[in-house]
């Protein structure tokens, strides 16, 4: 298996990334989390939050080619998500982990974590000091 590394800074430099890991698409926690997030999709977009569904064995679940399963597996390894576990992880615009939860998280918690990030201008002035 080839190693795939996701660097959020390279992929989405002005967006936060909310990864929702699940053993299956039928997992109840996964379904509840995705339902809650889909109800607030427009607001998440306004806050520049991109949601990524990561399902173990993605090729079987998504009906795509075998490389898709490798991507999911690689992300689980990269972010240290144990097999068979539901997990939510928020990577901020600054590429730091802002939230890790093994249960559903509220929409408000995600937005609060994203909004409390330092803005680029603030980061520049801190680094210049």
Looking at residue 86, what is its pLDDT?
A: 95
Token digits of residue 27 = 């997992």
The answer to whether residue 110 is domain-embedded is yes
Specify if 3 maps to a domain. no
Residue 29 lies in a domain: yes
Asked if residue 1 is part of any domain, the answer here is no
Task: Report d(CA 111, CA 31) in Å as an integer.
Answer: 20
Structure tokens at 69: 């399963």
Number of structural domains the chain divides into: 1
- The residue with greater pLDDT, 68 or 113, is 113
pLDDT digits (tens, 9 = 90+) for 85-106: 999 999 988 888 999 999 999 9
Residue 64 in any domain: the answer is yes
| Cβ 91 vs Cβ 19: under 8 Å | yes
Kindly state the tokens that stand for 15. Answer: 């967006």
Q: pLDDT per residue over 6-59, tens digit each?
A: 555 545 567 899 999 999 999 999 999 999 999 999 999 999 999 989 998 763
Q: What is the CA radius of gyration of the chain?
A: 15
Asked if the structure places residue 92 within a domain, the reply is: yes
- Coil, strand or helix at 64: coil
Domain extent for 112: 8-128
Q: Is residue 27 within 8 Å of 86, Cβ to Cβ?
A: yes
d(CA 25, CA 35): 12
pLDDT beyond 50 at 124:
no
CATH number at residue 97: 3.40.30.10
Is 86 or 68 the better-scoring residue by pLDDT?
Answer: 86
pLDDT for 95 equals 85
Cβ-contact 92, 9 below 8 angstroms: no
66 or 38, greater pLDDT:
38
In this structure, is residue 16 part of a structural domain?
yes
Q: Which residues pair with 127 in a beta bridge?
A: none
Whether 112 is in a domain gets the answer: yes
Identify the DSSP state of 80.
Answer: T
Rounded to the nearest 5 percent, the helix, strand and coil shares of the chain are 45, 20, 35
């Amino acid at each position: 298996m080839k190693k795939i590394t996701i660097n959020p800074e390279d992929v989405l430099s002005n967006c936060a990334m909310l990864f929702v890991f699940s053993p299956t698409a039928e997992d109840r926690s996964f379904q509840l989390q995705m339902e809650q997030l889909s109800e607030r999709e427009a607001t998440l977009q306004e806050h520049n939050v991109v949601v990524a569904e990561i399902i173990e064995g993605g090729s079987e679940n998504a009906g795509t080619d075998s490389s898709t399963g490798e991507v999911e597996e690689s992300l689980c390894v990269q972010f240290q998500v144990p097999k068979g576990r539901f997990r939510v992880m928020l990577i901020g615009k600054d590429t730091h982990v802002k939230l890790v939860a093994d249960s559903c998280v509220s929409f408000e918690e995600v937005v609060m974590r994203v909004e409390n990030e330092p803005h680029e201008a603030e980061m520049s002035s801190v680094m210049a000091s």
